[in-house]
Amino acid sequence: MFRTVTELVEIAEQEKMPISEVMIRQEMEMKNRSYEDIFAQMEKNLTVMEEAVEAGLKGVESVTGLTGGDAVLVQQYRKEKTPLSGNILLDAVSKAMATNEVNAAMGVICATPTAGSAGCVPGVLFAVQEQLHPTREQMIRFLFTAGAFGFVVANNAFISGAAGGCQAEVGSAGAMAAAAVVEMAGGTPQQSAEAFAITLKNMLGLVCDPVAGLVEVPCVKRNAAGSSLAIVSADLALAGVKSRIPCDEVIGAMYRIGKTMPVQLRETGEGGLADTPTGRFLRDKIFGG
């Protein structure tokens, strides 16, 4: 059983198996369930993600009207123009936003690791399909790899905005996606760890400041940023770039930053963007302040 990224990578290297396999075996041991049961459950999660992305790309709108339709705009832009950031990256952005727009519209999503950060993992996964051509099994393994890193964060720091700011939510989610796509692209376990570290350390200090206390603004667009950073970080790691600060130390830094973050910046809707003139206006408009 592993509790740190260092231990996770060591097991994968010593046993000569991918991180996804390490995670599957740990789940079997912890939950006393068969390989087939564990795999089938994760495939259900994958299906939920697929359906959420499909729904979001058809166009949804939240009850408040704060979010909805942006994923469709991004896909239209991809088709009509030549994106400055590239097709794969912008496709990931669109699909990440689609997922979170569905969440804001009270649709069904798969929390990865939270509802507010649910777009990063599926955004990246479904964006690289056309280039990497993964099998269904590889797509499911992508989720196990992401889950392995999420497991470490949840047990050594936090994954909720209320506890540690958005760095704990979108930061963790983007980093999980980066680690997973590295494995899918043929990278090593250590390269997955590097990609995770590079992503998370670029999200350190990110506050959780939802306008009107709702998981809409700026959450949807932060998932867009998290998914794009995941792809860039994965490329850096696959190119051989390393994080000068080890992965577990980056997680530790995130934890300490979150502990010192003012409560106004931890999902209370009392600081940051929520406390701007427009943020307060929207809050009063929605709740009749």
Q: Which pLDDT score, from 0 to 100, does residue 289 have? A: 66
Residue with tokens 């896909």: 75
d(CA 6, CA 13): 11
Look up the pTM and report it: 0.98
On whether the CB atoms of residues 224 and 121 are closer than 8 A, the answer is no
Q: Which helix (H) or strand (E) holds 91?
A: helix 87-104
Show the domains of the chain with their CATH numbers. 18-287 (1.10.4100)
Low-confidence ranges of the chain (pLDDT < 70): 289
Bridge partners of 266?
208
What gap in Å lies between CA 278 and CA 289, rounded to an integer?
Answer: 13
Q: Give the span between the Cα atoms of 84 and 9, in whole angstroms.
A: 35
